[in-house]
Amino acid sequence: MTVFDIAADFTVTVEEWEALAKRTLTAPAYDYVASGSGAEETLAKNKTAFRQWDIIPQVLIDVSERDLSVQLLNETLAVPVMLAPVGFQTIVHPDGELAAAGGAAELKVPFVASTVSSFSLEEISAEMKGQAPCYFQLYWPADDDVAASLVARAEAAGYAGIVVTVDTPLLGWREKDMHNRYFPIETGAGIANFLNDPTFQQKYNEGGTLTYKQQIPAIKRILLNQKVTWNKLDWLRQRTTLPIVLKGIMHEEDALLALDYGVDGIIVSNHGGRQLDGTGSALEALDVIANKIQGRLPLVVDGGIRRGPDIIKALALGADTVLIGRPYIYGLTEGKQGVKAVLTSLIKDLDTSVAIAGITHVSSIGRSFVRKYSGPY
């Protein structure tokens, strides 16, 4: 490859993928993916926050060899990007999570499988064929037996960690979905982990006589849990040897509590602006949290990451790696190839940006690479 081939794998921008998704999907399905809660202030802030930090490049450095790998929870990741847990992926493409996880794995990109996947966690990990780590995202069910069963299944299926989403005691105030009267679970998407769970089946479908539709009310009843507190983490710790990562931390005091309670990592996230509208951006929260944590816990961030330089800024502000959500879901409108195309462009963009910034190892990106910009744009 020569320097002039650098964009050979470029397809289209995330914005163009989004436009394609908008044309392809039904309006309620597109809104479900693209929208945020409330007035979508937080959704917007997640993106604009990146403009408030400037990268300070360095020059006259030999950047002919570059290493994009990072360490996370005893794993070496080929690139500092993972696919965020996104539920109900069959509303975008019939191959859903299998296409996304399979595409990610072929590019050595880790995948985080949602509790509300449209394929079972066993099918998803099998699709990755061990080519990249997969993590299981737990919406802590309001039934301990089902929670324990999901976690045991994830461990048995070879998952590398449990990502507990802690920002969703209930769903955010999602005005577009309410306007559309749309929640994907009603279509039968996102329930495979329950239909395949022996404990759920035994407790809520005794005798196995209920259709999937008849099981949806019980799934909705136990899916989320408003009573889980920090003390309950011990219960989880006793049931798995896997690393436990909390997703949805925004407050620095919660980051310190996570440290006290012995979790293995945190994901700084406001759920892509889908939960509490009016919170600040995830990037700003990362800045504050990283200053408090001082390297004592692995930090991951998500929300608004669309291009290579966004990843450089996130790593500079203290993240070990990042997650992307909507960008790969827009790619998923074209199935596995679309997911791979989005990821390939993003990784190439990162590689290009890293070189021009004078960086040879992304793991060495520190705060000196960015400066806060407070002037007008």
Ligand X SMILES: Cc1cc2nc3c(=O)[nH]c(=O)nc-3n(C[C@H](O)[C@H](O)[C@H](O)COP(=O)(O)O)c2cc1C
Residues of this chain that bind ligand X (CB under 6 A): 32-33, 46, 84-87, 114, 116, 137, 165, 247, 269, 271-272, 274, 302-305, 324-326
Residue nearest to ligand X (CB): 325
Instruction: Tell me how far, at minimum, the Cβ of 322 lies from ligand X, in Å.
Output: 9
Q: Which is nearer to ligand X, 305 or 354 (CB)?
A: 305
Give the separation between CA 128 and CA 126, rounded to whole angstroms.
5
179 is catalytic: no
Instruction: Tell me how far, at minimum, the Cβ of 200 lies from ligand X, in Å.
Output: 17
Q: Contact 108/132 with Cβ under 8 angstroms?
A: yes
List, as one string, the DSSP characters of 75-106: EEESSSEEEPP-S-GGGT-TTHHHHHHHHHHH
Instruction: Tell me how far, at minimum, the Cβ of 368 lies from ligand X, in Å.
Output: 26
Q: Which two tokens stand for residue 204?
A: 């809520």
Q: Which is nearer to ligand X, 277 or 302 (CB)?
A: 302
Q: Which is nearer to ligand X, 157 or 210 (CB)?
A: 157
Give Cα 278 distance to the centre of its chain: 20
3-state SS, residue 268: strand
DSSP designation for 151: H
Instruction: Tell me how far, at minimum, the Cβ of 32 lies from ligand X, in Å.
Output: 6
Give Cα 270 distance to the centre of its chain: 11
Q: Which is nearer to ligand X, 32 or 194 (CB)?
A: 32
| Alpha-carbon dihedral angle through residues 310, 312, 317, 318, given to the nearest 10 degrees | 120
Active-site residue, selected from the candidate residues 93, 179, 271, 361: 271
Q: Which is nearer to ligand X, 96 or 325 (CB)?
A: 325
C-beta neighbour count of 286 within 10 angstroms = 30
Instruction: Tell me how far, at minimum, the Cβ of 23 lies from ligand X, in Å.
Output: 18
The residues annotated as belonging to the active site are: 271
